[in-house]
């Protein structure tokens, strides 16, 4: 056991059981998975991405590159979770990943031997040729071997929420600077949100042993937290990562509501996605300890100096039996010495510097620690670290150690500052990049701004917290910052040990070595952006938080440019990985978008309808009857019943737009290709409208209810698009027109009855004096009155099905009653409800175009509607529809098709080829757009576009469908298969 006998911010009275790779262990409440594993002496936690190198834990935070595990099992299994951020809970089960057959013995570590093939640029080089290798070797072997964890194979059983909130000052990070910033802002009365990804407030103060105001740092944290929690204007959000900065002071944050328990409590989400809109924000995200590059620097047991301290001080864990420190800066010394004072056995401190501040040296010597100044670690050994080889004064010696704490300096955590594209700037004296120009309204405080010394951090946070509150309109003053250590950390820039042995890693998570960086340099990929893409340096889930500095420092040395001139790549959101489930929130499956039932939905359900999604709508597709063996049989029955007697369908889903105003008729003339100003009151007309590029946008009938009042219908799918287009025309193109539009799609239910008996049915539901006789209400006529004893109604005599037909519109709440009334009135005639399938069959029989034909690539001429276009006026799309390419004689035009052999089936998507011609693109004459089995003809029929369509009726071509392996001889014909003269409509 490596648990120290005392200390740590864990609750030793609350043991917690967990398992890793099937072995059971115990930790304590307050542990992370990483600290509990270390406490149990488990130092091997994962295998690396490419080479399957054994890896242990490197950090103690969300920047962890190595200790990635699969957490939980079954449907809740989650890959690539960082053991350093996983809070321990009872029953936690974790598995190592990217290894086979076991973590300790991984056959795939043979990839290490393949490292010459997996070097920088291997995606571009190795995978190039020969082509046969791609399928047989690269994909199955390399892709499988190089990878991380496995996602769950079942649906995630948990829920995810989205929430919005607002504040005056958002403080990101609750460490030293974050706490003083939040206190200073909150005391002014400003609404403050303090967010931290950790489950406890305090940041570095949870791990450092510096006193604040002469007392332990922990008591300052406790006091600050108590005050903040007592203020009604403060919201503390722990376990909440602010992952992105967006426009206008908007911040994305992920709250891990239930990740620290085995299963979320009833009605609680696993995670909650916050959109926080803040007037001002203070980024107090602290800093990272960065690695040094040398051979074997990835061996389990090598960790950052700050991590060594955090495990010792915060979790009461010695990361190993004997530790040594290898560093170039004072801050690393104080970290290692804090750990030593907490009980970690520290054998030696190796520093590349020959001069180190006397007080640090004295403190080390008092603890009996050997100092090797001007020394370097040149190699490590042991599958799990057992010793380090140190070079100093020209000699090498081996020092036994289970832990090698390393620190190449402190890197400010400025991730969020570059989300708007601002490039960090290099500071030579700190050997660190500092934030460039952060997004407006975001100030950077404390260590994130390069103010590393604790006293300075506390003061800086107080100052920026107060100025943020002031900028948000409050009278704020910085709190009197507590006193603390103020000595800046000495550092001598140092990135890479020369003359080292073994693979020297720059990026642990993507297995990028110093050699890869040198190779990229030799091959000319020298800018940081190219270096990143070529080597994958910094592209893993840690986004180079640990690795970027050393990588570009090595490149800077190779180019001789200096680090400042070399620059750094930009960080992008998210700061740490965000699960897709959290982004989707409740918008999953059927909840992805709203479902819109029609006014007759309940009635259709009672009738046993099968529904189909049409946009957001649910429409009845067909109404199966007992004994019918498939949908086709039901649909045939519905069509026959309608054509022989009467059928009913709900067409409420069509878009309905109310157009009123003195210029309404003139407006319609400009948006439709045909003329509406000549339409008489009480009449309807079919209209086609184009996009400005000349393609058909939509079609439908528009009726004139009064001289200055029209009601337009659109297709179901285009209702919103057409409305937006009409508003555009009115407001942007012709603001001088006096017209008002209102969408009334949802206000009116519209029921269509079609068939020779439809008038008899209608006559039974209309109230006197409404006359629906052929004389009073002829084809394309419109009548207004009441039905069912007083319900306001509009009656349009038209039919998409091609029969005598009426559409009856009533206020939506009466739609179901009207349907039941029509069904009752029609009972003597055997009135038959039908769905969208039967409607589709009837419209194809009738040669009416629909969505398959109005596909955004067809002109009115293509649809055989060219003659509808008025030549006496301008309209949207007129000029472009006249382009040479759109009116050339060879452009396919709508026609009907029927199989020469009546037993053959036709399919949409088939292409037309001359008989005897080869099935090539050159011989393509057009395509089939819609097909149906026609009960009227007893064969399959189709609509399609073919060159010179109207001139070729009676000719034969092939409907060639290589995708389905079909080739059917068809005859070109009139697209109106049924009642081509429209006589049935006018009876």
Partner 1 sequence: MRIPCPYCGLRDAHEFAYLGDATVKRPDPAAPGAEDAFHDYVYLRDNPAGAHKELWYHGSGCRSWVVVARDTRTHAIAGAELAREVTP
> Which residues of this protein are in contact with partner 1, per CB under 8 A?
246-248, 250, 420-421, 440, 692-693, 720, 724, 727-728, 730-733, 735, 874, 878-880, 882-883
Q: Write out the two tokens for 89.
A: 């809970």
Report in angstroms how near the CB of residue 742 gets to partner 1 at its nearest: 10
Strands 403-407 and 323-327: parallel
Please give the Cα distance from 719 to 698 (Å, whole number). 9
Report in angstroms how near the CB of residue 945 gets to partner 1 at its nearest: 23
Which residue, 420 or 686, has its beta carbon nearer to partner 1?
420
Neighbours of 974 (CB within 10 A): 12
Report in angstroms how near the CB of residue 568 gets to partner 1 at its nearest: 20
Which residue, 164 or 383, has its beta carbon nearer to partner 1?
164
Whether the Cβ atoms of residue 847 and residue 896 lie closer than 8 Å to each other: yes
Report in angstroms how near the CB of residue 882 gets to partner 1 at its nearest: 7
Please give the Cα distance from 928 to 478 (Å, whole number). 75
Which residue, 611 or 667, has its beta carbon nearer to partner 1?
667
Which residue, 880 or 936, has its beta carbon nearer to partner 1?
880
Report in angstroms how near the CB of residue 849 gets to partner 1 at its nearest: 24
For the chain, the distance separating the N- and C-terminal CA atoms, rounded to the nearest angstrom, is 95
Which residue, 493 or 737, has its beta carbon nearer to partner 1?
737
Q: Write out the two tokens for 421.
A: 């594209």
The CA-atom distances, in angstroms, between 730 and each of 248, 654, 699, 735 are 31, 22, 19, 5
Report in angstroms how near the CB of residue 666 gets to partner 1 at its nearest: 15
Three-class secondary structure of residue 945 per DSSP: strand
Please give the Cα distance from 65 to 53 (Å, whole number). 13
Which residue, 735 or 790, has its beta carbon nearer to partner 1?
735
Q: Write out the two tokens for 86.
A: 């996983």
Report in angstroms how near the CB of residue 724 gets to partner 1 at its nearest: 6
Which residue, 439 or 755, has its beta carbon nearer to partner 1?
439
Q: Write out the two tokens for 556.
A: 């800077």
Report in angstroms how near the CB of residue 365 gets to partner 1 at its nearest: 55
Report in angstroms how near the CB of residue 874 gets to partner 1 at its nearest: 4
Phi, then psi, of 913 in degrees rounded to 5: -130, 140
Report in angstroms how near the CB of residue 672 gets to partner 1 at its nearest: 15
Report in angstroms how near the CB of residue 725 gets to partner 1 at its nearest: 10
The CA-atom distances, in angstroms, between 252 and each of 200, 244, 431, 527, 577 are 20, 5, 30, 31, 12
Which residue, 766 or 876, has its beta carbon nearer to partner 1?
876
Q: Write out the two tokens for 18.
A: 């967990």
Report in angstroms how near the CB of residue 888 gets to partner 1 at its nearest: 15
Please give the Cα distance from 505 to 950 (Å, whole number). 72
Report in angstroms how near the CB of residue 248 gets to partner 1 at its nearest: 5
Neighbours of 662 (CB within 10 A): 12
Which residue, 245 or 350, has its beta carbon nearer to partner 1?
245
Which residue, 587 or 964, has its beta carbon nearer to partner 1?
587
Length of the chain: 987
| DSSP codes of every residue in 84-142 | TT-B--TTEEEEE-S-SB-SSSBGGGGGGGGTTTTSTTHHHHTTSS-HHHIIIIIIIII
Taking 3-state DSSP, the helix, strand and coil percentages for the chain, each rounded to the nearest 5, stand at: 25, 30, 45
Whether the Cβ atoms of residue 445 and residue 181 lie closer than 8 Å to each other: yes
Q: Write out the two tokens for 465.
A: 């917290």
Report in angstroms how near the CB of residue 691 gets to partner 1 at its nearest: 9
Which residue, 340 or 416, has its beta carbon nearer to partner 1?
416
| DSSP codes of every residue in 647-682 | EEEE-TTSEEEEEESTTHHHHHHHHBSS--TTPPTT
Which residue, 370 or 883, has its beta carbon nearer to partner 1?
883
| DSSP codes of every residue in 176-233 | HHHHHHHHHHHTTT--EEEE-SSSSS-GGGGT---EETTEEHHHHHHHHHHHHHH-TT
Report in angstroms how near the CB of residue 739 gets to partner 1 at its nearest: 12
Which residue, 693 or 708, has its beta carbon nearer to partner 1?
693
Which residue, 732 or 768, has its beta carbon nearer to partner 1?
732
Please give the Cα distance from 961 to 927 (Å, whole number). 10
The CA-atom distances, in angstroms, between 748 and each of 598, 606, 620, 715, 792 are 11, 22, 18, 15, 11
Whether the Cβ atoms of residue 959 and residue 914 lie closer than 8 Å to each other: no
Which residue, 735 or 769, has its beta carbon nearer to partner 1?
735
Report in angstroms how near the CB of residue 346 gets to partner 1 at its nearest: 50
Which run of H or of E encompasses 381? strand 375-381
Which residue, 235 or 873, has its beta carbon nearer to partner 1?
873
Rounded (10°) angle between helices 528-535 and 548-559:
120
């Amino acid at each position: 056991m490596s648990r120290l006998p005392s200390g740590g911010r864990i609750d030793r009275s609350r043991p917690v059981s967990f398992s890793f790779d099937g072995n059971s262990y115990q930790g304590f409440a307050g542990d992370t998975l990483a600290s509990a594993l270390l406490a149990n002496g488990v130092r091997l936690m994962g295998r690396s991405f490419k080479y399957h190198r054994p890896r242990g834990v490197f950090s103690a935070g969300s920047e962890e590159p190595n200790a990635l595990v699969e957490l939980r099992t079954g449907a809740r299994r989650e890959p690539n979770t960082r053991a350093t951020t996983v809070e321990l809970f009872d029953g936690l089960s974790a598995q190592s990943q990217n290894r086979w057959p076991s973590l300790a013995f991984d056959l795939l570590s043979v990839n290490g031997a393949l490292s010459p093939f997996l070097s920088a640029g291997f995606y571009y080089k190795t995978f190039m040729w020969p082509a046969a290798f791609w399928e047989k070797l690269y994909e199955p072997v390399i892709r499988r071997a190089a990878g991380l964890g496995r996602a769950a194979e079942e649906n995630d059983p948990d829920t995810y929420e989205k929430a919005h909130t607002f504040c005056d000052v958002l403080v990101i990070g609750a460490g030293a600077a974050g706490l003083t910033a939040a206190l200073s802002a909150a005391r002014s009365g400003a609404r403050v949100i303090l967010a931290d990804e950790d489950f406890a407030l305090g940041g570095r103060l949870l791990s450092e042993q510096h006193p604040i105001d002469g007392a332990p740092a922990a008591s300052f944290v406790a006091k600050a937290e108590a005050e903040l929690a007592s203020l009604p204007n403060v919201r503390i959000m722990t376990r909440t990562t602010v992952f992105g900065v967006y426009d206008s002071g908007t911040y994305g944050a992920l709250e891990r509501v239930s990740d620290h328990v085995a299963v979320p409590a009833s009605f609680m989400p696993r995670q909650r996605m916050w959109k926080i809109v803040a007037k001002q924000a203070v980024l107090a995200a602290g800093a990272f300890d960065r690695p040094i590059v040398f051979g074997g620097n990835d061996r389990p047991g090598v960790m950052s100096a700050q991590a060594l301290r955090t495990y010792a001080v915060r979790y009461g864990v010695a990361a190993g039996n004997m530790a040594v420190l290898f560093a170039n800066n004072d801050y690393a010394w104080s970290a290692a010495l804090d750990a030593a004072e907490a009980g970690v056995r520290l054998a030696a401190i190796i520093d590349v510097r020959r001069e180190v501040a006397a007080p640090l040296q004295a403190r080390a010597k008092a603890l009996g620690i050997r100092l090797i100044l001007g020394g370097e670690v040149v190699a490590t050994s042991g599958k799990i670290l057992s010793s380090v080889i140190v070079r100093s004064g020209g000699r090498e010696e081996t020092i036994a150690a289970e832990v090698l704490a390393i620190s190449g300096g402190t890197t400010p955590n400025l991730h969020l500052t570059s989300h708007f594209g601002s490039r960090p700037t290099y500071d030579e004296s700190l050997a660190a990049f500092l934030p460039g120009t952060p997004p407006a309204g975001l100030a950077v405080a404390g260590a994130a701004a390069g103010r590393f010394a604790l006293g300075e951090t506390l003061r800086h946070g107080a100052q920026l917290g107060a100025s943020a509150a002031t900028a948000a309109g409050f009278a704020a003053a910085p709190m009197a910052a507590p006193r603390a250590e103020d000595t800046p950390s000495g550092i001598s820039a140092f990135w890479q040990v020369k003359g080292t042995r073994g693979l020297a890693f720059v990026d642990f998570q993507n297995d990028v070595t110093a050699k890869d960086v040198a190779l990229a340099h030799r091959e000319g990929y020298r800018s940081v952006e190219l270096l990143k893409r070529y080597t994958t340096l910094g592209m893993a889930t840690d986004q180079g938080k640990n690795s970027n500095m050393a990588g570009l420092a090595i490149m800077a040395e190779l180019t001789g440019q200096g680090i400042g001139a070399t620059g750094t790549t930009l960080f992008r959101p998210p700061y740490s990985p965000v699960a897709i489930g959290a982004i989707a929130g409740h918008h999953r499956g059927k909840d992805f978008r709203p479902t819109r039932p029609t006014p007759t939905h309940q009635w259709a359900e009672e009738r046993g309808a099968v529904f189909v999604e049409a946009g957001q709508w649910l429409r009845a597709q067909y109404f199966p009857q007992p004994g019918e063996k498939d949908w086709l049989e039901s649909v045939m029955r519905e069509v026959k019943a309608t054509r022989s007697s009467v059928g009913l369908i709900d067409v409420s889903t069509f878009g309905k737009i109310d157009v009123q105003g003195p210029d309404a008729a003139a407006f319609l003339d400009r948006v439709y290709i045909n003329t509406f100003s000549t339409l008489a009151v009480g009449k309807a007309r079919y209209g086609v409208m184009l996009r400005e590029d000349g393609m058909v946008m939509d079609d439908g009938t528009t009726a004139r209810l009064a001289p200055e009042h029209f009601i337009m219908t659109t297709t179901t799918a285009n209702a919103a698009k057409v409305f937006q287009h009409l508003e555009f025309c009115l407001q942007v193109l012709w603001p001088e027109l006096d017209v008002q539009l209102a969408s009334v799609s949802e206000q009116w239910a519209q029921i269509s009855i079609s068939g020779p008996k439809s008038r008899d049915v209608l006559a039974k539901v209309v109230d006197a004096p409404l006359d629906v006789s052929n004389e009073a209400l002829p084809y394309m006529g419109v009548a207004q009155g009441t039905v069912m004893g007083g319900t306001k109604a509009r009656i349009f005599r038209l039919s998409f099905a091609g029969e005598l037909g009426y559409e009856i519109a009533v206020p939506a709440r009466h739609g179901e009653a009207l349907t039941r009334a029509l069904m009752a009135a029609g009972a003597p005639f055997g009135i038959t409800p039908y769905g969208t399938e039967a409607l589709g069959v009837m419209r194809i029989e009738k040669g009416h175009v629909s969505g398959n034909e109005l596909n955004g690539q067809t002109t009115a001429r293509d649809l055989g509607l060219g003659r509808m276009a008025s030549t006496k006026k301008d309209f949207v799309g007129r000029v472009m529809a006249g382009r040479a390419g759109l009116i050339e004689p060879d452009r396919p035009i709508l026609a009907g098709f029927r199989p020469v052999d009546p037993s053959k089936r036709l399919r949409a998507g088939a292409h037309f080829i001359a008989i005897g011609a080869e099935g090539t693109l050159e011989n393509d004459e057009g395509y089939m757009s819609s097909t149906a089995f026609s009960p009227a003809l007893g064969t399959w029929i189709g609509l399609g576009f073919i060159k010179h369509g109207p001139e070729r009726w009676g000719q034969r071509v092939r409907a060639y469908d290589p995708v389905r392996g079909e080739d059917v001889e068809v005859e070109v014909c009139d697209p109106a298969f049924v009642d081509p003269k429209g006589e049935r409509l006018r009876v």
